[in-house]
Amino acid sequence: MPSPRASVRVPASTSNLGPGFDCLGLALQIYNTVTLTRSDAAKPAHGMIAETAAAFFQRATGGKVAPFGFEARIEGDIPISRGLGSSVTVRLGVLMALAELVADAFPVTREQLLTLLIELEGHPDNAVPSFLGGFAVCAHASADPRDGFVYTRVPVKPELSFVTLVPDLKLSTETARGLLPQEVPFRHAVDNAQRTARIATAFALGDYAALRGMFVDHLHQPYRRVLIPGFDAILAAAQDAGALGSFLSGAGSCLMALTLDREQAISTAMLEAAKNANLPSPRVIVLKADNEGAQVVRP
């Protein structure tokens, strides 16, 4: 008899990595676990969970599996609305848990789940790495948006560390996107394209020293910096302490620096700069890349 419960562990993710707006992403070793328990007596889901479940039954199963009640529990360490892909962990956890619960009656492929996840999120840069693990480069499959996205994923070596400043400051993606311009100077677009290409190549080759200086961005960070007190000072402090580079994680508010060997010095410098800027309750966590992606947790 199929189990009435399914749990899925999903890694956090950082996206954009400076210039790679809406195309670069990377999974991190900090997690949320989503557990669904089938129950006819469960209260109706709401918000993102309800939206995701409705999409699963309508689109992933084509209406061939009748919706059922369930209780949802979300546990983990990923801070909400900080630019670490917390919404992806919820959506992906629900999709994979539902697929696990209906697997005997109606198998759903991983590709179907990823396609649906990207549709729900609206962009792939967090969705792909959280699902597959590692570093991902994503792009529209063609000039026609209906063709969806394609992606390339590579694993990340453990020597690369991600020093992450986490303030007590929630930022919505909608607010952060609302600050972006409709047009940017041509030279800025070219500069971003050059740096994005080099970042992707460095990760593909595992040549992380080549990342130094490549995280300068002209498309989103200059406009979002007003949301985070001390933004410039914190990123500069990380680089002065020896970081390969530093950037805004996703839409923020986390700020992140990459290093091969300077974790403590960078952590101290970022934290001091944050406190000097009166950024609310900052803390620093040092993370490694996750190469496993989302996993069903077996009892």
What's the whole-number average pLDDT of the chain? 95
pTM: 0.94
50-105 tens-digit pLDDT: 999 999 999 998 889 999 999 999 999 999 999 999 999 999 999 999 999 999 98
b/e burial code for range 210-233 (CB count within 10 A of at least 16 → b): ebeebbebbbbbbbbbebbbbbeb
Query: 246 vs 42, which has greater pLDDT?
Result: 246
SS3 of the chain: helix, strand, coil, percent, to 5: 35, 25, 40
Name the pLDDT band for 238 (thresholds 50, 70, 90): very high
Q: For tokens 């800025």, name the residue.
A: 188
Residue 271 has pLDDT above 70, yes or no: yes
* Three-state secondary-structure class, residue 35: strand
H or E element that contains 48: helix 47-55
Amino acid at position 98, single letter:
L
Q: Which two tokens stand for residue 242?
A: 């020896």
Q: For tokens 């950024």, name the residue.
A: 279
149 forms beta bridges with 140
- Residue 44 to residue 212: CA distance in whole angstroms: 49
122-161 tens-digit pLDDT: 889 999 999 999 999 999 989 988 888 999 999 999 999 9
Name the pLDDT band for 198 (thresholds 50, 70, 90): very high
The predicted structure's pLDDT at residue 169: 95
**For 161-287, which CATH class?**
alpha beta
- Residue 232 to residue 239: CA distance in whole angstroms: 11
The predicted structure's pLDDT at residue 2: 63
1-14 tens-digit pLDDT: 467 999 999 999 99
Length of the chain: 299
Give the neighbor-by-neighbor strand order of the sheet with 283-287: 245-248, 255-259, 161-166, 283-287
289 forms beta bridges with 28
The predicted structure's pLDDT at residue 28: 98
* Three-state secondary-structure class, residue 268: helix
* Three-state secondary-structure class, residue 97: helix
CA distances from 236 to 63, 147, 230, 277 (A): 52, 40, 10, 13
Q: For tokens 């394209």, name the residue.
A: 193
The predicted structure's pLDDT at residue 145: 84
Other C-beta atoms lying within 10 Å of the C-beta of residue 76? 18
The domain locations on the chain are 5-154+290-297, 161-287
CATH of domain 5-154+290-297: 3.30.230.10
225 forms beta bridges with none
Residue 263 has pLDDT above 70, yes or no: yes
